[in-house]
């Protein structure tokens, strides 16, 4: 399974049961990079996607995702031991947070494989880090 998560500069991703931010161009880029691969997400996450795509929406997506599927992590948990790839989109800002991605990726056997930066619709710069086992 492959997970996708959006983090701020402090590795936060949720505050008061809401996502910290979202960006239309990030969603477009993500769908382009996935190139039709299945993307699992919760009902909450689906609300930000008006675009068409190969989406599977289920609040228990982590239990149902196949090894080659992607899961967009926002309001639900994740099991990093089931992952072989992690895509981290990084906001170029600090936001308040009460949920934090505090995994030691190197300790979990991941290595940084690729980085990209691009301009978003609401962020001057968004980074993408792709980690693989």
3-class SS at 70? strand
For 10-26, how does the pLDDT look when each residue is reduced to its tens digit (9 = 90+)? 999 999 989 999 999 99
Predicted local distance difference test score (pLDDT) of residue 4 = 97
Is 78 a residue whose pLDDT tops 90?
no
Q: Where are the domains of the chain?
A: 2-132
Residue 73: burial class (beta carbons within 10 Å; 0-12, 13-18, 19+) = buried
Report the Cα 30 to chain-centroid distance in Å.
9
Predicted local distance difference test score (pLDDT) of residue 25 = 94
Predicted local distance difference test score (pLDDT) of residue 14 = 94
Confidence grade of residue 40 (pLDDT, cut at 50, 70, 90): very high
pTM higher than the cut 0.75: yes
Task: Name the CATH superfamily for 2-132.
Answer: Dihydrofolate Reductase, subunit A (3.40.430.10)
Predicted local distance difference test score (pLDDT) of residue 53 = 82
Half-sphere exposure of 123 (CA within 13 A, CB side): 25
Give the C-alpha separation, 109 to 63, whole Å.
22
Give the C-alpha separation, 18 to 53, whole Å.
23
Half-sphere exposure of 14 (CA within 13 A, CB side): 15
């Amino acid at each position: 399974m492959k997970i996708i998560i959006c983090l701020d500069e402090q590795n936060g991703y949720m505050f008061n049961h809401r996502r910290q931010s979202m960006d239309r161009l990030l969603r477009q880029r993500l769908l382009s990079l996935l190139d039709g691969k299945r993307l699992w997400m919760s009902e909450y996450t689906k609300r930000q996607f008006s675009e068409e795509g190969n989406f599977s929406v289920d609040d228990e997506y982590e239990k149902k995702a196949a090894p080659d599927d992607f899961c967009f992590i926002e309001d639900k948990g994740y099991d990093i031991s089931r992952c072989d790839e992690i895509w981290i989109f990084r906001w170029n800002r600090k936001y308040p947070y009460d949920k934090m991605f505090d995994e030691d990726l190197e300790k979990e056997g991941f290595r940084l494989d690729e980085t990209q930066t691009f301009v978003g619709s609401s962020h001057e710069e968004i980074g993408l880090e792709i980690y693989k086992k």
